[in-house]
Amino acid sequence: MISRLRSRVLGATVAAGVAGVALLVPAAAQAATSSAVVYHASGRVAGYVFYNAGTHNMAKGRNSFTVVDSFCGDGWAVGVQWRSVAAGEVIAQGILTAPDCKEASFSVHSYGRGYSTPISYTPLKASVNDGGMTREATVEDVIS
């Protein structure tokens, strides 16, 4: 009998067994270099944050975020806060939120650096009523 392991990975179900591996994921921003799920207080998925390093997905822009709010009418906007520092210099920083039930993309650094610089980003939910925020775990990637 083939045993199966099931777990949650970024909102996807992973099933592994002797016969192989199946991975089911939501439609992403053309296979982002990294991504994260933002959860609603109920435990349901509120949205997604995708980061495209360098020229990985030029349809969204060089070194860009795509934020998708998929939990409609809940009074919260899905977003991301980012910061990149190299040799003590802030290269890029900011916050992007998507309108309710919509997608938003933003290029955080539109030209090539010739080398990679670390970027940290934190997926979040921002209240549209009082400005309160809840944050998910910080993710690390690069600007190139």
For residues 36 and 137, is the Cβ–Cβ distance under 8 A? yes
Query: Given this model, what pLDDT does residue 57 score?
Result: 67
Q: Provide the CATH number for the domain around residue 95.
A: 2.60.40
30 pLDDT more than 90: no
The pair of structure tokens assigned to 45 is 């998925």
Q: How far apart are CA 67 and CA 106, in angstroms?
A: 9
DSSP H helix total and E strand total for the chain: 0, 12
- Is the pLDDT higher at 23 or at 45? 45
**43 domain-assigned:** yes
Q: How far apart are CA 65 and CA 34, in angstroms?
A: 10
Domain coverage including residue 106: 27-143
**47 domain-assigned:** yes
114 pLDDT more than 50: yes
Query: Given this model, what pLDDT does residue 23 score?
Result: 34
**11 domain-assigned:** no
**1 domain-assigned:** no
**112 domain-assigned:** yes
pLDDT tens-digit profile of 74-113? Answer: 999 999 999 998 888 888 899 999 988 999 998 887 666 6
**59 domain-assigned:** yes
Q: How many angstroms separate the first and last alpha carbons of the chain?
A: 47
**3 domain-assigned:** no
**19 domain-assigned:** no
Which residue, 25, 11, 24, 29, is CA-closest to 96? 29
Query: Given this model, what pLDDT does residue 2 score?
Result: 33
pLDDT tens-digit profile of 37-53? Answer: 999 989 999 999 999 88
Number of domains present in the structure of the chain: 1
Query: Stretch 119-137: mean pLDDT, rounded?
Result: 92
